Amino acid sequence: MLDSKGIVRIPASMVGVLLLGPGTDVSHRAIELIGDTGTSMVWVGERGVRHYAHGRALAHSSRLLERQANLVSNTRSRLSVARKMYQMRFPNEDVSNLTMQQLRGREGARVREVYRKQSKLHNVEWTKREYNPDDFEAGTPVNQALSAGHVSLYGLVYSIIVALGMSPGLGFVHTGHDLSFVYDIADLYKADLTIPIAFEIAGESLPDEDIGRKTRLRVRDAFVDGKIMKTIVKDLQYLMDVEAEEEMFIDVINLWDDKEELVKHGVNYEEVPQ
């Protein structure tokens, strides 16, 4: 690693994950070495605000990925996980018997109330969430701030999901998109993180200010202490009903068997003729 103080040599095997931000130069040989040691690499924006690409996952175990695929492939377990996601939004209520239609209705009412409170708190006019993905500037200042803030949150969530070896496309509430699971998880934090920041930015900004950049920087600053990252990891483990974090990083390969659950890898199983 080269910085203003000179060259610092860091053993790649001691690094769990590298977040490569703007201005980073990495040689092909370095990437080859890092890949061989199993270190995860994620190309991100400032402070991890955006996710651009990633290399090998931080987790060596496929436990979370297999668990995610198993849960999403069964209607009953998928509904159970979706209810857990909604329960996290309504901690003082029992949503265990509500249908997906009822849960969506409750969530819609909750978000509208969040918008109403933030609008009043920051004296920002609010009508509805309205934006054009192809024309950012066409939105109102608060809608621009909401879009910029949410995209930043998606980048952080994506980085964590892929670092843990999970699939960003296997969603439980959202479906049919390669970022479905990212949207599922990001929705858990918008009301407490990006929505308040967006209304705050809209309320204090002048007409000629760059709302998008200002919002991204404010969201970036909210990520710095790392608390939201730890919360996301903990919530992912809760939703997948996986507690043993250390097992995700054990580099073990087994062979699947239709009679025995797992058999040892690296063994010649050729049957000896009788």
Per-residue pLDDT tens over the stretch 117-146: 999 999 999 999 887 777 777 788 999 999
C-alpha 208/C-alpha 206 separation (Å) is 6
Q: Are 256 and 266 in contact (CB under 8 A)?
A: no
Q: What is the DSSP code string of 209-237?
A: S-HHHHHHHHHHHHHTTSHHHHHHHHHHH
Q: Is 107 annotated as a binding residue?
A: yes
Could you say which of 13, 31, 54 is where a domain stops? 54
pLDDT value for 164: 87
Q: How many domains does the chain have?
A: 2
Please indicate, yes or no, if residue 105 is contained in any of the structural domains.
Answer: yes
The reply, when asked if residue 174 is annotated as ligand binding, is: yes
Is residue 95's pLDDT more than 60?
yes
pLDDT of amino acid 100: 92
Residue 262 confidence class, pLDDT cut points 50, 70, 90 = low
Q: Which residue has the tokens 């998928």?
A: 78
- pLDDT at position 56: 65
pLDDT computed for residue 274 by the predictor:
47
Element (H, E) at 56: none
**For residue 242, is it within any domain?**
yes
Which residue has tokens 């209607």?
75
Residues 222 and 87 reside in one and the same domain: yes
* pLDDT of res. 272: 43
**208 found inside a domain:** yes
CATH number at residue 37: 3.100.10.20
Q: Give the pLDDT confidence of 46-69 residue by residue, as tens digits.
A: 655 566 776 666 667 788 899 999
Let me know whether 142 and 17 are in one domain: no
Do 251 and 39 touch, CB atoms closer than 8 A?
no
201 with 164, same domain: the answer is yes
Are residues 109 and 245 located together in one domain of the fold?
Answer: yes
Q: Which domain holds residue 240?
A: 63-249
* Region 151-173 average pLDDT: 91
Greater pLDDT, 50 or 234: 234
**Domain check: are 31 and 113 in the same one?**
no
* Residues 155, 36 within the same domain: no
17 has a pLDDT exceeding 80: no
Let me know whether 38 and 101 are in one domain. Answer: no
Residue 89 CB coordination number (10 Å): 16
Q: Do 96 and 175 lie in a common domain?
A: yes
Residue 22 lies in a domain: yes
Domain with residue 88: its CATH number is: 1.20.120.920
Residues 41 and 153 in one domain: no
Is the residue at 266 inside a domain?
Answer: no
Q: Which pLDDT score, from 0 to 100, does residue 183 have?
A: 96
